[in-house]
Amino acid sequence: DAGVTQSPTHLIKTRGQHVTLRCSPISGHKSVSWYQQVLGQGPQFIFQYYEKEERGRGNFPDRFSARQFPNYSSELNVNALLLGDSALYLCASSLSPNAQRTEAFFGQGTRLTVV
């Protein structure tokens, strides 16, 4: 069975550019969450989507946006990239948005470097 897949695995962008990161959840999982992990820190919550609707948003600027498609895959978009956006971006999928009752599985992440 395929786990959570993210693409691309690595990306280098220049300040001011925009980037789109993609995530395919585990088959049957309807909830997708996005996290940003900068070096030396734990992952920070960015967005959660369930059944194509935004269920939660972390403390990130409006440059960050996301969406979920009918097949439950998801995209994270970041506009006007800053050097500080360099991080590992993780996608997690779960059966439902309630992590209390269902384990969240993470993809291998997209490592974004902004130069």
Partner 1 sequence: RKEVEQDPGPFNVPEGATVAFNCTYSNSASQSFFWYRQDCRKEPKLLMSVYSSGNEDGRFTAQLNRASQYISLLIRDSKLSDSATYLCVVLNQGGKLIFGQGTELSVKP
Site for partner 1 in 23-42 (CB under 8 A): 33, 35, 40-42
What whole-number distance in Å separates Cα of residue 49 and Cα of residue 91? 11
Q: Which stretch binds partner 1 (CB under 8 A): 17-25, 63-71, 78-86, 96-104?
A: 96-104
Show the tokens assigned to 111.
């490592």
Q: How far is the CB of 29 from partner 1 (least distance, A)?
A: 15
What whole-number distance in Å separates Cα of residue 96 and Cα of residue 65? 21
Q: Is 43 in the site for partner 1 (CB under 8 A)?
A: yes
The site for partner 1 (CB under 8 A) is made up of 33, 35, 40-45, 48, 55-56, 58, 90, 92, 97-100, 103-104, 106-109
